Amino acid sequence: MSAAPPVGEMWVVDDVAGAFASLVVAEAPTTLALSGGGMARRAYERLAGTRGLDWASVTVVFGDERWVPVTSEDSNEGMARQVLLDLVGPAEVRSLRGAGTTPEEAAAAYDVEIAALGGLDVVHLGLGDDGHTASLFPGSPALEVDDRLVVATGDDAHPHRRLTFTFPAIALARVAVVTVGGADKADVWRRLCRGDDLPAARIRAERVLWLVDPAAAGS
């Protein structure tokens, strides 16, 4: 496919997880926002085994999370701790799920934390089959939020309440990197490239980089 994503650079790479790991090391972030999902898991496994990043200088935050215990198999933080964070020892891990006792309380507290950082070096995002990114789903009121960095969200179509970065939070990134892999993403990638009104089409940052494998890119 020759079409480009709406905003940003597209790199077609055979090994998305490896390219992500190399990019993070090259960017040398002091703030790193993590995501969830199968591709994220593979990317974080690769990052854990990639040398060159001074983890003692890195503060880790989360761009979205389900309202479940961190010990749940559905927890993005739990996954990231298992395959990456417990192995590399970052300077600080700021739990989104642990920021409050209700989704709304946690979102409000995390909003303050993210604002206090003054910016984000690298924000990792994924692309869902329906075009969502972070926990910004089609039709969600969270898509239109412009005065908060973190909100609580949820609907009947998804089994858990969620906490998510808003687009203004993503826009704080020096680099927003979106990983897209597998033939099952080819349809949504095609829709994104032709200009469909999908949540992921709204991603903005100082630099937006799409890492897409040939199967997803249709090449």
Report the relative pairing of strands 173-180 and 120-126 from DSSP bridges. Answer: parallel
Residue 37: the pLDDT is 94
Please compute the mean of the pLDDT values over residues 102-127 and round it to a whole number.
Answer: 97
Residue 165: the pLDDT is 99
Please compute the mean of the pLDDT values over residues 192-216 and round it to a whole number.
Answer: 97
CA distances from 158 to 105, 146, 185 (A): 20, 23, 19
pLDDT band at residue 2 using 50, 70 and 90 as cut-offs: very low
Q: Which domains does the chain have, with CATH numbers?
A: 17-170+179-217 (3.40.50.1360)
pLDDT band at residue 4 using 50, 70 and 90 as cut-offs: low
High-pLDDT (> 90) share of the chain, %: 91
Residue 154: the pLDDT is 86
Confidence check: pLDDT of 1 > 70 = no
Residue 198: the pLDDT is 97
Confidence check: pLDDT of 5 > 70 = no
High-pLDDT (> 70) share of the chain, %: 97
Query: Per-residue pLDDT tens for 146-197?
Result: 999 999 998 767 778 999 999 999 999 999 999 999 999 999 999 999 999 9
Q: Name every residue whose Cβ is closer than 8 Å to that of residue 86 and which is 6 or more positions away in sequence.
A: none
Residue 3: the pLDDT is 55
Query: Per-residue pLDDT tens for 46-74?
Result: 999 999 999 999 999 999 999 999 999 99
The pTM (predicted TM-score) of the whole model is 0.95
- Counting Cβ atoms within 10 Å, is residue 85 exposed (0-12), middle (13-18) or buried (19+)? buried
Concatenate the DSSP letters of all residues of 96-150 into one string.
SGGG-SSHHHHHHHHHHHHHHH--EEEEEEE--TTS-BTTB-TT-GGGG--S-SE
Mean pLDDT, the chain, whole residue set:
95
Confidence check: pLDDT of 92 > 70 = yes
